[in-house]
Structure 1
C-alpha cells in the first residue's frame, strides 16, 4: 500500500507517468487528491499534468464518480483538446456502464481528434446501444473512418450482430516470406497465468482463457496470443465455427517494463464450413487475413497477406487437439549471391 503522501509527484510535469502498480496502491485520500486535480480545483497544485492525473485516477478508481468526472472533461469544449482526448481514452479503460454512457453522449465533440478517441474507447467497451449510436456517425477523415469501422466490428463481434466482415484488400505483390524466424508455441496454463498478470491496458471487453494461449516470436519481438475464453471448448477454439467473435488478442511484450499490451486483435466470423479471420492493428488497419478450417479433429489457420506494410502471407498454423502447434512458413526466395538448393 502506498503511503499517504501528496500525489503531485506522481503526476507532475517532470516525472514519468505513474505505473499501474503505483496507481493500484493509492489510498482513498490520494484518490481524492487526484479527483481535485481532475476537477481543476484551485487548491490543487499547478505543477501537475492533468492528463496524467486522468490516467492515474482511472487506474486507481473505477467508480461511477470517476467516469462522470472524465465525461465532464470530454464534454467541456473549453478544455484543451489533448486533455479531452486523454480523458476519453481513460473512460474506455474503466469499462463500466457509466463510462459507456459518457462516451455515447460525446459522439459530437466538435473535434476529430477527440472523436477519434471516443470512437476508439467505444470499440473497447461499447454495447449494443453504443453500436446503434455509432451507426449514426458519419465521418470523412480516413483515420477516423477506419477506426469507426473497427469499433463497429468489435462491438458487433461481442454482441453477435450479423454485420459483414471488415473488407480486406489483397496484397498487390506476391508474398516474399518472412525474413526472420517465426515460432509459435502453445503455453502451459502456468505460463498463461504469468502472461495474464503482465497484461496492461484494454482487453476489448474480452476475458482471456486461463488455459489456452500461445507465444508468437518473430526475431526479437514476442507476442502472447490470448484466446477469448468464450470460444474455447475442450482446449480448442471450436465455438469460432458457431458464432462471430473477437477470437484472440495479440499482446506485445515490452522488456523494459515487463508488461504486455494488446497490439493486434483477431476477429472471426463463420462462413459455411470455415471461419474468416482478420487480424487488425489497434488503429483499425487490417494487418492479415486468413481462414480457419477443421482437419481431422485439429484446427488449421491459413494466413494470407493484405495490402498492409509488413503483412504476413502463406503461413499455416495447425492447432492440434493435444495443444501442440505446427507452423509452416513460405520459403523465402534466395537473396542475390545465395546458393539455390533443392529438397
Structure 2
C-alpha cells in the first residue's frame, strides 16, 4: 500500500492501525539544531487524543509519545525522527461482527475491493487514529515554523448548523481550547454543544466547518506550476479522513463576486512596502504566498459510525441487512479535527519554507 508518505523536503511517513500494537510516524528533513523534546510533541497529541470530553469517543488513550531517533541532548540531529505511540485501550474483538459487513460511510467495502483483504478492527489504516502520526509530525513542523515567527491556528466556525461570529486571531488563541467544541465564539460554543448532545441522544452525528489561519507567512512560498502553495494545502487537508471540501480565502463565494469585488487592491505602507488592501485571496495569489494571513476552511462530514439503523450487505451471504454500528465513536469530528488540520497546514508550510531556502540548520544554530 503506497501513499503513506507526505511532503517533499520535509516529509512524514505514518504507520500503524487503530487497534494494532501502536501507531507512529517517521519525520525526515528536519534541520539539525532545533530544540525538541517529547513534551513539545505531547502537547499537540494531548489536544488530539480521544476520551477528553462528551464530544469525543469514550476510548481512553493517553497517547504518550516516545521519540526513538533523530534527537540527541534535546536537539534535532538532522536525521530521521521516529516517534511511537502505543495503543493501550484497543479492543479489536469489538469489531468481529463487521468482518464481512461494510459500514455505510466507511471505506470498508472499497478497501476489500481494492486489496482483497482488509483490517476490520476499527478500520485499520482508514481509522481516524491514523492522524496520531500526522499530529506528531505536525508538532515538529509547528515548532520549526515558530522559530521564523509563523503561527498556525484553527477553530470550529460551524457545527451542527450553528455558526460562530467572526472572531479575531487573539480570540482564537485565548478561547479555542477553553471549550470542548473548540469554537472561539463562546456563545456559539454553548449552542454547538447542545447540538452534539442532541445528536448523541438520537444515536446520530453532526458535521461542521473548521477554519485555519497562518500568520507571519512570508511572501513567495510556493512552487508554480503544479506545486502551488494553495494546491499543496488543498491536497494536505483533503487527505484527512472526513474532509469533503476545502476553500481558500473567499472560497466558493468568489463565484458570486465581480472582479472589482474579488481583486485585492495594492496599497503602500508607511515604510514603503506594498501590500494588499483586502485578503479575498486568503494569502495566496498565483500559487504564491502574498505575506497576508493565510486563511482556509474545511468542510468535515458527520461521523459515519452511528447507532441508527442503516442499510448494508453481508458480503459472506450477499444478502441485504440493517446495521447499527456498535463501539466507541465520536458524535462529531470537527473539534478533534482542529489539531490535525493545524498539523497538515504546518507540514506544508515547513516543507515550502525549506524548499525556498529560508529554513536551514545554519539559521537555527546561530
The structure whose RCO (Cα within 8 Å, separation 6+) is larger is 2
TM-score by length of 2: 0.25
TM-score by length of 1: 0.26
